[in-house]
Structure 1
Amino acid sequence: MTRSVIVLAAIMGWFVAWHTTDAQSAPNTVSDKGSAPPKASSQIPAATADLFKRSYALETAGKYVEAAEVILPLHGTRNGDQELVMLRLGWLNYLQGQHNVSIHYYRLALRTNGHSIDALLGITLPLLAQQRYREAAAFAGSVLELSRLNQTALQRMMAAAEGQKQWESLLGYASTLASHYPTDTDALVYMARAHLWLNHKNLARDAYVKVLNRIPGHLEATAFLKQ
């Protein structure tokens, strides 16, 4: 009897010891379910962000050459936001009057993203400055295919139509723009000019009156209405 008790006690001691060890090694399922997964790092490389910050500050100060030089080292690297770099260089070179260089960078941006409305509109600026109206109209037209009533694209189409003396087209773009953006003074100015070239003097006068309602003292409208 005594021997049986001793054996039973030994077995119970072994069972308790095994159970305690197993419990300590088992995963804590409650804790695991409650823990959040590790978050991916969302930090922006400080050096790159600082270069853009300095570039914006220099642009605001009118130092366009320096603003471009600051971000130029990012061009062609893996660390920089390449599309933004090319758009910035296109814009800053346009502001400097470096139109061919500006066009170059905008074309690079379009190679990266052919549907970029920013790049399509951006490249129209140096093209219009060089009086390359047909090319500018082609890029602005591509924007209108993506965004039918894009205000800036319609404005660029008006400038290109006027440059090519396409008065009917100019009137059409101006009318569309004025219809959807009734506070757009440029639309009314171009509309008045188109009417004048088409010998619609009364309609031109009406358009110039609307211009003065939006910008009292507008020089072109005031000069015409004094005639």
Structure 2
Amino acid sequence: MGTLGKTIVIGIFTFFGTSYIFAQQNFTELHDAFRKSYTLEGNGDFQLAINELKTVYQEDTYEINLRLGWLNYMAGSFNESIAFYQKSMELMPYADEPKFGYIFPLTALGRWDEVIAVYNQILENSPHNTKAMYYLGTIYYNRLQYDKAITYFKQIVDLYPFDYDGLLIYAWTKLKLGNKKEAKDLFQKVLLNKPKDASATDGLALASS
């Protein structure tokens, strides 16, 4: 092999070898920062956990932005949390995970119309996401908009006919809408799932009166 060929081979080896070492060093630093952040979070030191991750912050790294969204939410820094979750959603636009996280600070700030919009985005992407259905329906239930709430609860029960949470809220919504017979049947199903459930017992008594 000529001198030029040897130089090229050595250059390639050096480039990839250096990249590999930097990658390993980068992962080690990231891993250490994440590990420390979990320990600090467990101790309730949310700001210190945030500071730890910021030492390795990379704007284009989904995992760091997602984690900082959560930690800022836990620290009560809701606007900062929103910013990090928004960045996470930009990096992974089809993922449901950052959208569910984004809902936490929005809820804390009482921005309910935006929360509803995010749940609808999740359901557009994942039509059978019962978690989104349940919480979206619950928002309408708490607003006394039972006619809207029931559509989501019905979908949950259609998908999971013996699910405790879905059956219970569906039963109460039926009762609120004045459908006592259907509510009674649903409360009885809940009691087959959890025989001593207080909420279902109370609901059954009201539906039977």
TM-score in terms of structure 2 length: 0.73
- Confirm whether residue 111 of structure 1 aligns to residue 111 of structure 2: no
Partner of 2:156: 177
Q: Which runs of 5+ in 2 are unaligned?
A: 1-15
Partner of 1:120: 99
1:131 and 1:211 mapped to 2: Cα distance?
32
Superimposed CA distance per residue, residues 67-86 of structure 1 (whole angstroms, 9 cap, x where no aligned partner): 333213333x37xx721112
* Shift of residue 49, structure 1, vs aligned partner: 0.6
1:94 and 1:217 mapped to 2: Cα distance?
36
Superimposed CA distance per residue, residues 53-108 of structure 1 (whole angstroms, 9 cap, x where no aligned partner): 22223334554444333213333x37xx7211121122223334443332222122
Relative to structure 1, the CA distance from residue 195 to residue 116 in structure 2 (aligned partners, 3 Å threshold; closer, same or farther) is: same
* Shift of residue 174, structure 1, vs aligned partner: 0.7
Partner of 2:55: 73
Superimposed CA distance per residue, residues 149-180 of structure 1 (whole angstroms, 9 cap, x where no aligned partner): 01222223223322433212211111111221
- Confirm whether residue 48 of structure 1 aligns to residue 30 of structure 2: yes
1:217 and 1:93 mapped to 2: Cα distance?
39
CA RMSD of aligned residues (A): 2.8
SS at match of 2:55: helix
1:117 and 1:62 mapped to 2: Cα distance?
27
Partner of 2:66: 87
Relative to structure 1, the CA distance from residue 49 to residue 134 in structure 2 (aligned partners, 3 Å threshold; closer, same or farther) is: same
1:118 and 1:205 mapped to 2: Cα distance?
36
Deviates more, 1:63-72 or 1:106-115: 63-72
- Confirm whether residue 164 of structure 1 aligns to residue 164 of structure 2: no
Partner of 2:199: 220
Superimposed CA distance per residue, residues 173-215 of structure 1 (whole angstroms, 9 cap, x where no aligned partner): 1111122134532222321231122112232233333333334
* Shift of residue 110, structure 1, vs aligned partner: 1.9
1:221 and 1:60 mapped to 2: Cα distance?
36
Relative to structure 1, the CA distance from residue 130 to residue 188 in structure 2 (aligned partners, 3 Å threshold; closer, same or farther) is: farther
Deviates more, 1:85-94 or 1:209-218: 209-218
Larger radius of gyration: 1
1:56 and 1:171 mapped to 2: Cα distance?
39
Partner of 1:153: 132
Q: Percent identity?
A: 29
